[in-house]
Structure 1
Amino acid sequence: MRIVDFKKNLSSINEFIYFDSNDYLREKTTNPLKLKQVIAEAENLLRISDEEDKYFLYGTVGNLYRICGEPEKAINYLNYCLNYALEEENISKEIVTLIRLGEALKYHKKHNKAIEFFDEAFNKCKDNKIDSYLDYALQHKGKCLMELGMLDEAEKCFIKAFKLREFKGDSTLIDSTKQALDLVKRL
């Protein structure tokens, strides 16, 4: 398989990945075997890819290991991405990777460290005038705070994320934040 084909086929994983409303809206899979196959395909491509493709593949594999319930492996892959972003001095990739690492840390029960990563991503967005990831940093921080039982703080993050997402006009993101707001109110 070529990287181009892998990227085209990647959207099909949405068929078996969902947000679990019984577990703080964590991403999970209905088909772990299929997810492991996708991971294996990506890991195979790592051997032949250039550095830019490797960043994409490592990030993808890191996210998928997190969803599979293997956050330690996710953290290892995502640390590669962070090092790459830092070496390339690519602030956008650094921000994205900080958010992904925060999520992996949350799944690894390191909530306080995860919050540090979300805050760092948020501050880098502000300092570098990169607004496109502010809502993600807030949303993921809110979900982390929600898991810690810090519901008022979580709700504030979700409200801010919601306003940013309304401005973006992306209905999928808006719906995701609505779900988070509904859950935090039920808790």
Structure 2
Amino acid sequence: MNFADFKKSLSKINELIYFDREHFLREKTSNSSKLKQYIQSAEGLLKSTNILEEKYFIMGTLGNLYRILGETQKAINILERCLKIASTELNFKREIVCKIRLGEALKYNNNHLKALEFFDGALELSLAHDSLYLDYVLQHKGKCLLELNKVIEAEKCFKEALKLREYKGNEELIKSTQLALDFIKNLKEK
């Protein structure tokens, strides 16, 4: 499989991933073996390419896939390498995305406080350089705060993310944030 085919195949990956309502809406997979196939393909491509753009994309994808599969240390290791590329290039958009992904991997590795440092770093960069991913930062920071039982702070993040997502008009993102707000509502009702 070449890079273009791999990228194209990722359009079907959402069929394997769901939000676990029993575990703070963490992303999980319904088909580990299929997810492992994606990982194997990505690992092979990573070894065979010298194109920095492709390496960055593959490493970010691998970080997410390893996290979802539950192999959090592998996710952290590869995302740290990915962040180094983004930081070296002084590419703020990529750095923001990497910090969000690394924060998620750390959260899944039960290192919530370190995860919050990365989310706050992504928030700082978003406010200073590029607000394109601000709603993502707020969403993921909110989910981390939620797992720390900081429900009021989490809800504030989700409400801000929802406003930004409604402005963007992306129904899938709006639905994701609404799911988080509904999760909080159910928590409060218990």
TM superposition score category, shorter chain reference: over 0.9
Task: Report the residue type matching 1:63 in the other structure.
Answer: N
SS in 1 for 2:149: coil
Displacement of 1:12 = 1.1
Show the counterpart of 2:135: 135
Task: Report the residue type matching 1:163 in the other structure.
Answer: K
Show the counterpart of 1:154: 154
Partners of 1:100 and 1:155 lie apart in 2 by 21
Show the counterpart of 1:120: 121
Moved beyond 4 Å, runs of 4+: none
Task: Report the residue type matching 2:178 in the other structure.
Answer: K
Show the counterpart of 2:107: 106
Listed as ranges, the matches of 1:10-159 within 5 Å are 10-49=10-49, 50-128=51-129, 130-159=130-159
Displacement of 1:185 = 1.6
Partners of 1:67 and 1:11 lie apart in 2 by 16
Query: Scaled by the length of structure 1, what TM-score is found?
Result: 0.98
Partners of 1:83 and 1:147 lie apart in 2 by 28
- Root-mean-square deviation (CA), in Å? 0.6
SS in 2 for 1:28: strand
Give unmatched runs, 5+ long, in structure 1: none
Query: Scaled by the length of structure 2, what TM-score is found?
Result: 0.96
Displacement of 1:51 = 1.2
SS in 2 for 1:11: helix
Displacement of 1:122 = 0.7
Partners of 2:54 and 2:164 lie apart in 1 by 30
SS in 1 for 2:23: coil
Displacement of 1:152 = 0.5
Whether 1:5 and 2:5 are equivalent positions in the alignment is yes
Task: Report the residue type matching 1:178 in the other structure.
Answer: Q
- Cα shift readout 1:29-77 (whole Å, capped 9, x = no counterpart): 0100110010000000012211110000010001000000011000011
- Cα shift readout 1:147-182 (whole Å, capped 9, x = no counterpart): 111100100000000000010000000000000000
Partners of 2:78 and 2:48 lie apart in 1 by 17
Listed as ranges, the matches of 1:163-178 within 5 Å are 163-178=163-178
Partners of 2:119 and 2:100 lie apart in 1 by 6
Partners of 2:131 and 2:35 lie apart in 1 by 31
Count of residues paired in the alignment: 186
- Cα shift readout 1:57-113 (whole Å, capped 9, x = no counterpart): 010001000000011000011011100001111111000000000000000000011
